[in-house]
């Protein structure tokens, strides 16, 4: 019989660095906390946040995974990218022709997402540290996926490319 929330097996480095730039909706960040715990990613929340970290919606969405996730609130994007310590940064946006199936990820990559509902602002998309802009395919005429859903799609694609190493 297994325990419902056994401590995850640590890896030498996080699967990926999931960066939410100035997130606004607590439920999305709460879902990302759960996602980080389940995959071994490190979640960076870049200030200003549109909510308080003690907010009930954030706690509810993350359920009881808060203690199993590696989450850091960063004062700005520079701090988040410095903390990630990697040179590969993938900015997720509708403003590109590069689609998710075209990208080959590596363990430790940064997956950068913008705030709801506007996405990443131009000054972030033009940052020279961005390796590539990436779009998640969807039907034409629609604006975007929910932030937590988009992060899940991208992070699980990265993990799939690694053979779900460390997963069960």
Question: In the chain, where are the structural domains located?
Answer: 17-161
Judged by DSSP in three states, 132 sits in strand
List pLDDT tens digits, range 87-126: 899 999 998 999 999 999 999 999 999 998 899 999 999 9
The answer to whether 114 is annotated as binding is yes
pLDDT of residue 2: 34
Residues with Cβ < 8 Å from 146, sequence gap 6 or more?
A: 28, 116
pLDDT at res. 62: 47
Is position 136 annotated in a ligand binding site?
A: yes
What is the average per-residue pLDDT within 35-55?
90
| 48: pLDDT strictly greater than 70 | yes
Say if CB 92 and CB 112 are below 8 A apart: yes
Mean pLDDT score across all residues of the chain: 87
Please check if 144 is assigned to a binding site. yes
What's the predicted TM-score (pTM) here? 0.88
Q: Residues 87-111, buried b or exposed e (16+ Cβ, 10 A)? A: ebbbbbbeeeeeebeebebebbbbb
> Which range among 35-39, 66-70, 75-79 shows the weakest confidence by mean pLDDT?
66-70
pLDDT of residue 54: 73
Q: Does domain 17-161 have CATH number 3.40.50.2000?
A: no
- Residue 69 structure tokens: 């996730």
């Amino acid at each position: 019989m297994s325990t419902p929330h056994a401590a995850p097996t640590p890896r030498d480095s996080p699967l990926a660095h999931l960066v939410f730039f100035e997130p606004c909706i607590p439920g999305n960040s709460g879902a990302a906390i759960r996602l980080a715990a389940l995959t071994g990613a490190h979640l960076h929340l870049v200030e200003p946040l549109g909510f308080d970290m003690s907010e009930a919606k954030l706690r509810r969405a993350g359920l009881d995974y808060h203690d199993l996730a590696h989450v850091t609130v960063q004062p700005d994007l520079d701090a988040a990218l410095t903390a990630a310590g990697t040179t590969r940064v993938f900015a997720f946006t509708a403003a590109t022709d590069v689609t998710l199936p075209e990208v080959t990820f590596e363990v430790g990559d940064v997956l950068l997402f913008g705030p709801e509902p506007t996405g990443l602002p131009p000054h972030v998309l033009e940052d020279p540290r961005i390796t590539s802009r990436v779009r998640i395919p969807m039907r034409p005429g629609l604006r975007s996926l929910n932030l937590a859903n988009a992060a899940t799609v991208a992070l699980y694609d990265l993990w799939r490319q690694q053979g779900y190493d460390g997963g069960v």
